[in-house]
Amino acid sequence: MMSDVLRINKACEYYPCHLGLEDCTFCWCPFYPCKDEEKGKYVRTKKGQRVWDCCGCNWIHQKDVVDRIFEIIKQKF
């Protein structure tokens, strides 16, 4: 497992992007838009467009989640 490795990019212009940030491996969530209403919601932009807002979600920035994703990728390839 890679959970003991610190993967936070403090040099990033967006750091910290989320509260509870533990891992920056996936700067942008590969599951966007996940449409999981426990992790986000649809909102309207100023122009009236409907977009998925997950700015309150830190799921993809948790070390155990990233480690599990890497394990799944390794099994598939």
Residue 55 belongs to what domain range? Answer: 41-76
Is residue 64 in some structural domain? yes
Is residue 53 in some structural domain? yes
Is residue 32 in some structural domain? no
Q: What is the pTM of this model?
A: 0.73
Is residue 61 in some structural domain? yes
Residue for token digits 């967006």?
14
Write out the two tokens for 25.
């491996």
Write out the two tokens for 76.
């598939």
Q: How many domains does the chain have?
A: 1
Q: Taking the chain (77 residues) in consecutive chunks of 10 residues, what is each chunk's mean pLDDT?
A: 66 80 87 95 96 91 92 91
CA atoms within 13 A on the CB side of 52: 13
Is residue 60 in some structural domain? yes
Is residue 56 in some structural domain? yes
